[in-house]
Amino acid sequence: MLVTKAVGIDDVATYVPRLYLDARDFAKERGIAPEKIAKGIGIEKMSIPDAHEDAATMAAMATLKLMQKNDLQPKDIGFIHVATETGLDEAKPISCYVQGMLEQIYGEGSFEHIGAPETKFACVGATYAMIDRLAFINSGWNKGRHAIVVATDIAKYDLHSSGESTQGAAAVALLLKENPRLMVYEPDSRGFGTRDDQDFFRPVGRTTAVVNGHHSIGCYLRDMRVAADAFRMSMLSSGLVTLSAGEGITDHVDRIAFHSPFPKMVEMAFASFLIHDWRGLPRWRRITRQTGPEPDRKSMADVEFYVSEPYREFRKRFTTTPEFKAEFEKKVKDSLEALKLIGNSYTASLWLCVDSSFEAKTNDLAGKRFAVGSYGSGSSAIVCSFIVQPDYRQVADGFSLMQDLSRRRKISVAEYEDLHEQRLDLHRGIEAPRNEFVLDRIGEKETDFGYRYYRFVK
């Protein structure tokens, strides 16, 4: 018989660039009504990387922070596993560039014993990587070493495109180990929902994504519904949860964080989640007395239904009910505080939401079930859960995302456009680097053409 160990997330370290673009400045410059961004999609500020930053420096910064605050040494680490859709090389993983940067601090060759792959699946990649690293530790194959999973991304769309207002950048490093202090992973609650779709992608050679925003919302909700069904089934069939009369599976979830391309998407996702879970329950009568009946699905496929006008209107009415509002306030709202100030950060977004939820300190989460709904275009969703540990505050009190966000420098739209179009020299960005890894130069010789050289600047 296989006995499962307690494995999970021990600590989290976040990194955001020191620059931000104010969404109001941006809206004004683009001739968009400011409330369309602030209220329509829920974004107030967007994180913008400086000229010397890229997905690898951000990943290295988050990893270094995680190492330092836990006083970890290279020998303690078995894996540095990066997930990104801002890959820098088709063959070399960012993880290995990160290793090189860390070895500038910890000594050349100090990480030679590690595994360092990169995982790709749009914004859901880090959740895939996390589950695989946890399974590896759970199997006892880690020889006592911890794993670091790093989500790092720069969300970038063409200037003047519709996606431009959902840009952002961040990295999050998760420390995974046995007997974690923050949250223990529940292996019996995992559900996937995966479809070959074309809502958002970035063919090799393009620096910005091709996106069909409207369709992508439908894909997100479809995959999340499939994953949530599998999550529910898994919890029930394993005996992890037993439903009392009138209960839905969401009654057994105390907190939930979702992938957030923009905060408003999370409201839609959570509403769809609840509608699907509550539909057959006694409370549904009370809900539909307020909202009117859920529209007839007819022969529509999932995506078609979820983006249809009648369903959207129904969902909007649902979000005005006291029942929805209470659930959202209690289980979701805190997770979005940081996101409003960052914008999209693809793989990192979900884990920023998790961090944000813990930074809010609005109530005691010890012993509570914390679920995550992770989505990646293309497309795939994962829903899974954790149990928050008794002494989690000791770790969570060290989270510094909100503090970091308060110390940034605002840039002008002109400065943002210079950075976006890579008009600034690596060494002549907006802010002089200090105490950080920088992209120092890019190779130009025949044998190093395009190779990236990094350096730590004190």
Residue 372 Cβ vs a second copy, minimum distance, rounded to whole Å? 15
Which of 132/440 has CB closer to a second copy?
132
CB of 103 to a second copy, least distance (A): 7
Candidates 64-72, 279-287, 303-311, 449-457; binding stretch for a second copy (CB under 8 A): 449-457
Residue 76 makes contact with a second copy by CB under 8 A = no
Task: Examine residue 92 and tell whether it contacts a second copy (CB under 8 A).
Answer: yes
Range 315-321 contact pairs with CB under 8 angstroms and sequence separation of 24 or more: 315/268, 315/271, 315/272, 315/275, 317/290, 317/291, 317/292, 318/271, 318/274, 318/275, 318/287, 318/291, 319/267, 319/271, 320/290, 321/287, 321/290, 321/291
User: What length is written for the chain?
Assistant: 458
Closer CB to a second copy, residue 10 or residue 54? 54
At its nearest, how many Å lie between a second copy and the CB of residue 11?
A: 22
- Report the C-alpha gap between 194 and 209 in whole angstroms: 20
Rounded CA separation 146/152 (Å):
19
Cβ proximity to a second copy: between 235 and 411 the closer is 235
Output 34 or 100, the one with its CB closest to a second copy: 100
Q: Interface mask (CB under 8 A) for a second copy, residues 232-251, using x and -?
A: --x-----------------
**Shortest Å, Cβ 212 to a second copy:** 4
When binding is defined by CB under 8 A, the residue of 45, 52, 190, 333 that contacts a second copy is: 190
Please report whether residue 4 would count as binding a second copy according to CB under 8 A: yes
CA distances from 343 to 111, 123, 128, 168 (A): 33, 14, 22, 5
Of residues 101 and 287, the one with the C-beta less far from a second copy: 101
With binding defined as CB under 8 A, does residue 377 bind a second copy?
yes
| 109 is a site residue for a second copy (CB under 8 A) | yes
Q: Are 262 and 41 spatial neighbours (Cβ–Cβ below 8 Å)?
A: yes
Determine if 163 is a binding residue for a second copy (CB under 8 A).
Answer: no
The residue with tokens 């999932």 is 302
Question: From the centroid of its chain, how far is CA 402?
Answer: 16
Q: Does 103 bind a second copy (CB under 8 A)?
A: yes
The neighbour count for residue 360, using CB atoms within 10 Å, is 17
How many residues at the interface with a second copy, by CB under 8 A?
84
444 binds a second copy (CB under 8 A): no
Q: Which of 193, 248, 343, 433 binds a second copy (CB under 8 A)?
A: 193
For 179, which DSSP code?
Answer: S
Cα 144 to chain center, whole Å?
27
Contact 28, 206 (CB under 8 A): no
Looking at 25, 38, 198, 456, which residue binds a second copy (CB under 8 A)?
198
Q: Which stretch binds a second copy (CB under 8 A): 40-48, 64-72, 209-217, 264-272?
A: 209-217
For residue 376, state whether it binds a second copy (rule: CB under 8 A): yes
For 187, other C-beta atoms within 10 Å of its C-beta total 18
Contact at 8 Å (CB) between 170 and 354?
no
Residues near 199 by Cβ (< 8 Å), separated by ≥ 6?
Answer: 211, 212, 215, 216, 218, 219, 220, 377, 378, 379
List of E strands, 233-278: 255-258
Q: Hey, which residues between 110 and 129 contact a second copy (CB under 8 A)?
A: 111-122, 125, 128-129
Kindly tell me which of 171 and 341 has the beta carbon lying closer to a second copy: 171
Interface with a second copy, residue 226, by CB under 8 A: yes
Binding-site member from 107, 140, 282, 398 for a second copy (CB under 8 A): 140
Is the distance from CB of 155 to CB of 166 less than 8 angstroms?
A: yes
Select from 259, 419, 269 the least CA-distant residue to 344. Answer: 259
Q: Is 196 in the site for a second copy (CB under 8 A)?
A: yes
Q: Of the two residues 144 and 398, which places its CB atom closer to a second copy in the complex?
A: 144
Q: Smaller CB distance to a second copy: residue 149 or 271? A: 149
